[in-house]
Amino acid sequence: MIKIFKTFGGYLEIAEPQQGCWINVIKPTPKEIERLSNEFNLPSDLVTDVLDVDERPRIEFEDEWTYIILRIPVEVLNNGLPFHTIPLGIFITDKFTLTICIQENEVLPTGQPLPFREQYRQITDSLNFSLRLFMRSGTLYLRYLKQINQMTSLIEQDLEKSIKNKELNKLLKMEKCLVYFITSIKANEIVLAKLRNSKKITTEINEDLLEDAFIENKQALEMAQIYSDIQSGMMDAFASVISNNLNVVMKKLTLISIILMIPTLIASIFGMNVPNFMEDWTWALPSIIAGSVLLSVLGVIWFKKQEWI
C-alpha cells in the first residue's frame, strides 16, 4: 500500500508526488515495489533490505539521497511471541521523504489518525521527521516493556504453584522478546550516533530533538536490560521452585501410599486361607476394619508430629 501526503502531517492525500511530500509505504506488493524503483528512483537493493525482517539498522549517505533503517517494536499474535522488532526504512531526497515497512505498526499507523497531525507544523525538515520517528519508536519500546513486565508478573504468580513447564515456556518467550528489544535498541543507538557525527544536523531544533531521541532510546535500553536481568534470575529461581513443588507432590503421594498400605497389610494377613483365632467370631470383620482404621489414623498423627504432612 502506497499513500502520498502533501505534508508530513498526513492531512491531505494526493495522487502524484510533489515537492516536499511524504510517501508512506506499508507491506508493498511486487507491483508497488517495481513502482518504487521506476517512479521514485528508490534503489531496488534498498527495498529488498528493508523488506528483510532481520535487516540491521544503518544509515547511508549519497549525493542525492539519505537512507536510514531503524528497528521498531510491533505486537505479534500468531507466532507465540507477544512482541517482535522489524525494520523501518526512511528514504530522504530533496523532493520527497519516503517511509517503508513490511507490516502495519504503531510508529506509522495506517488505520487511525496519523501521528504527526497535531504537530506537523513543528516538523521543519526530513531529518526532523526522521528523529521524531526515533522518538516514537523509543516511546513504543517503553510502553511494550511495561506490558512485558505486567505479563511477567502474572506468569510469576502461576509459577509459584506450578509443577509443569508451561509457565517456564511463557517466561522464556518474555526473555526472547527482551533479547530482541535490547539488540534492536542498541543498533538504533548506533544509527543515532552516526547521524550525530555526520554533521547533517545543522539546526538547534534538530540537535535538541536528537538529544531527546538519545535519552528516550537509552531509557528504553536500560529498562530492557533491567527486566532481562530480573527474568534471568527468575528463570533459575522458578526452575528450582517447580522442582521443589514436584518433590512436595511426590512426598504427599508417598505418605498416602504408606497410610493405605496399613489396611491393605491387615486385610492380606486375615484374608489368607489358613486357620486363625477369629474364624468363628461374629465381630471379626468389624474388628479388623476398626483396627485398620485406627492404625491408619495413628499413622497420620505420627506423620503430623514428624511434620511430614
Single residue among 244, 269, 290 that ends a domain in this structure = 244
pLDDT at 99 over 80: yes
pLDDT in tens, 242-263: 677 777 778 888 888 888 888 8
Cα angle vertex 81, ends 139, 101, to 5°? 55
32/162 same-domain check: yes
Single residue among 229, 244, 259 that ends a domain in this structure = 244
Distance CA 7, CA 33 (A): 22
Q: Structural domain tally of the chain?
A: 2
277/169 same-domain check: no
231/253 same-domain check: no
Beta bridge partners of 209: none
106/207 same-domain check: yes
Q: Is the Cβ–Cβ distance between 88 and 71 less than 8 Å? A: yes
Position 13 confidence tier, pLDDT thresholds 50, 70, 90:
confident
Position 172 confidence tier, pLDDT thresholds 50, 70, 90:
confident
Of 167, 132, 146, 133, which Cα lies nearest the Cα of 224? 146
The residue type at 201? I
196's grid cell: 550525530
271/137 same-domain check: no
Please give the residue range of the domain that contains residue 280. Answer: 245-305
10's grid cell: 498526513
CATH, residue 111? 3.30.460.20
Tell me the pairing of strands 96-101 and 21-26. Answer: parallel
pLDDT in tens, 43-56: 888 888 888 888 88
pLDDT of residue 249: 78
Q: Hey, which of 59-63, 220-224, 234-238, 305-309 has the most confident mean pLDDT?
A: 220-224
pTM of the model: 0.74
CATH, residue 259? 1.20.58.340
143/285 same-domain check: no
153/237 same-domain check: yes
175/195 same-domain check: yes
